[in-house]
Structure 1
Amino acid sequence: MKKRVYHWQPELSTAIIYWSCTFGILFLSLILTLEHTRPYMTSNIVLGIFFLFAVLGFNRYFIIENESLIVHTLLPVRRKKITLATIELIRIGSNCIELTSTELRGDTQLFIMTKKNKMAFIESIKKQKLFTGKIVDDPELKIGRHY
């Protein structure tokens, strides 16, 4: 059976900084392209670097396994495997969710998700037998304000 992935982005400030730098690389490549009238190797290399960072930016997702939640991040070193039993609370905002667990950095972490991904993730985690935490719908939870 194929495992379903649920894509997310980090909290708003981190996402803005990452994507601004990524598109800065694209604009640098376009500027280098305009400097020459024929194909230019340097601009193509910089454009390739942009595509690499764009693919890495979309490589953030959750996978729910039998007894754990795997949080894939930009860097493989920072990937986390959270036991479902340690998730105490999931707060659902309009465009984000907030996980509270003892296995997370700072005990709580905010994840920006599309509504479709967010609802599919919540339905999937509710079906897990080992998940004993509470799920709270919180309309006050916003992506721009986190504590």
Structure 2
Amino acid sequence: MIKIFGKLRYHWQPELSITITYWCLSIAPIFISLALLYENTKISKSSFILFIIFIVLVWIGFQRYFEISDDKDLLLSRGLVPGYAGKTVISSISKIKISKRAIIIYTNHNVKGKIFYMRKWPKKYFVDTLTTNSYFQGEVELIGHIDHYFDSYSNDKKSKLSQI
């Protein structure tokens, strides 16, 4: 969770297989660039271009975040297309499932749900901000083992929270 220009951003990563593939492909150019530097005594144009590609891919990788606006839209910034924000209306969210590592958001038109991996505290603050929004009509469900990890959720005063 980072506050930039007065707006809170809750960072996430996509499904685990996509995340691993993306970060492996984004780190590969720096190793190729370093190998080219090791082979040559001077900095070549190709190693410089590969280093720039590495910087751009890392920057794009950190551009995945939720941003809850003041009106009834939930802004979802996509990391693969910088500057593009997919919008989901908060009132169309029917259910949010919270696990230890991820949240799954179900909307009225998406039965399968979308998985977003988040760290513990940004996830808690995101769910708290979303459930206290006046437009949110859905339910919040905890999945997985109920242990000390979920104490911060189960001790919450929200009546929308149910445990399974």
TM-score by length of 2: 0.78
Q: Is contact 2:60-2:82 (8 Å) kept?
A: no
**Percent identity over paired residues:** 30
Higher relative contact order at CA 8 Å, sep ≥6: structure 1 or structure 2?
1
Query: How far, CA to CA, are the matches of 2:78 and 2:143 in structure 1?
Result: 25
Q: CA RMSD in A?
A: 1.8
* 1:9 corresponds to which of 10, 13, 16: 13
- Measured after TM superposition, the shift of residue 82 of structure 1 is 0.6
Q: 1:126 to 1:34 in 2, by over 3 A?
A: same
Q: In terms of mean alpha carbon deviation, does 110-119 or 72-81 score higher? A: 72-81
Residue 143 of structure 2 is matched in structure 1 by 138
Query: How far, CA to CA, are the matches of 2:116 and 2:21 in structure 1?
Result: 16
Alignment of 1:29 with 2:65, yes or no, is no
TM-score by length of 1: 0.87
- Measured after TM superposition, the shift of residue 69 of structure 1 is 0.6
1:66-81 matched pairs, under 5 angstroms? 66-74=71-79, 75-76=81-82, 79-81=85-87
Alignment of 1:95 with 2:96, yes or no, is no
Alignment of 1:38 with 2:53, yes or no, is no
In the alignment of these two chains, the number of paired residues is: 139
- Measured after TM superposition, the shift of residue 107 of structure 1 is 4.4
Residue 74 of structure 2 aligns to a residue whose secondary structure is strand
Query: How far, CA to CA, are the matches of 2:82 and 2:96 in structure 1?
Result: 24
Unmatched 5+ residue regions in structure 2? 146-164
Unmatched 5+ residue regions in structure 1? 141-147
- Measured after TM superposition, the shift of residue 34 of structure 1 is 0.8
Residue 89 of structure 2 is matched in structure 1 by 83
Query: How far, CA to CA, are the matches of 1:21 and 1:76 in structure 2?
Result: 17
Query: How far, CA to CA, are the matches of 1:114 and 1:52 in structure 2?
Result: 24
Q: In terms of mean alpha carbon deviation, does 106-115 or 49-58 score higher? A: 106-115
Q: Is contact 1:82-1:103 (8 Å) kept?
A: no
Query: How far, CA to CA, are the matches of 1:103 and 1:67 in structure 2?
Result: 17
Greater Rg by CA: 2
Query: How far, CA to CA, are the matches of 2:10 and 2:16 in structure 1?
Result: 18
Query: How far, CA to CA, are the matches of 1:33 and 1:52 in structure 2?
Result: 20
Residue 37 of structure 2 aligns to a residue whose secondary structure is helix
